[in-house]
Amino acid sequence: MAQHKVNYTQDGGLPVALTSIDKIVNWGRSNSLWALTYGLACCGIEMMASGASRYDFDRYGTIFRASPRQSDLMIVAGTLTKKHAEFIKRLYDQMTEPRWVISMGSCANTGGMFNTYATVQGVDRIIPVDLYLPGCAPRPETLQYGVMLLQKKIRANKAGNAQKPKRLM
């Protein structure tokens, strides 16, 4: 019969941690934020850099997924054109709840420098946004800081509240 190597009474106590459901659910959610691969313009390059080895998003449990059905987080990285607006709404609707949105960069926040007929003047006209990142484009550090702030926001709320669908109107 196999012998347990771990002596719990000697190695710092029993392997038991007491917590509340809220905390453990939020711990799970905030540390496995799977993001939708959604680079719309040049901010997408910074988003890719954040996912690559130098900045290494995997450390936060943020793994880019190619399907909205597997994603919790939508990082709108780039200019949203009016032609594409219906598709961002469709992709957002396809994500399972709870879901969060980061608006990355000036174009996604307000339309940015594209004060033209073809650009949506801020993605919050289409979908509800949790976090706005300033910059043109924001550096990967900014995106990482934004994800950490979002993690803090997730942990600050009751776990059940995240199930309530957010509505733009």
Partner 1 sequence: MRAYTPKDDVQAKAYYTDRYYVAPQVPKSEVETDEVFAADLAAIKARFEVKEAYIQVEQMVIFINPHDIYGVLELMRDELAYTQLSEMSAIDWLAKDNTFEIFYQMLSMTKRKRIRVKFFINNGEAVDSVEKLFRSADWSEREMFDMFGIEANNHPFMKRILMPYDWQGHPLLKSYPLEGDEFAAWYEVDKIYGKEAREAIGPEIRDTARVDRYDSERFARLGFEVPKGTKITGDEPRNSQEYQEEGGVFLIKKYTKEASTIVDDPQR
Interface residue list for partner 1 (CB under 8 A): 17, 19, 23-24, 27, 31, 82-83, 85-86, 89, 110-113, 115-118, 120-122, 125-126, 145, 148-149, 151-152, 155-156, 168-169
| Three state DSSP letters for 118-159 | CECCCHHHCCCCCEEECCCCCCHHHHHHHHHHHHHHHHHCCH
- Pick between residue 26 and residue 37 the one whose CB is nearest to partner 1: 26
Compute the least distance from the CB of residue 20 to partner 1, in Å.
Answer: 9
| Bridging pattern class, strands 35-36 and 64-65 | parallel
Compute the least distance from the CB of residue 145 to partner 1, in Å.
Answer: 6
- Pick between residue 1 and residue 165 the one whose CB is nearest to partner 1: 165
CA angle 61-62-66, nearest 5°? 130
Q: Computed from CA positions of residues 19, 20, 23, 28, in that sequence, does the dihedral angle turn out positive or negative?
A: positive
- Pick between residue 49 and residue 85 the one whose CB is nearest to partner 1: 85
Compute the least distance from the CB of residue 26 to partner 1, in Å.
Answer: 8
Q: Do the Cβ atoms of 161 and 130 come closer than 8 Å?
A: no
Cβ atoms < 10 Å from Cβ of 94: 13
Compute the least distance from the CB of residue 158 to partner 1, in Å.
Answer: 15
- Pick between residue 4 and residue 167 the one whose CB is nearest to partner 1: 167
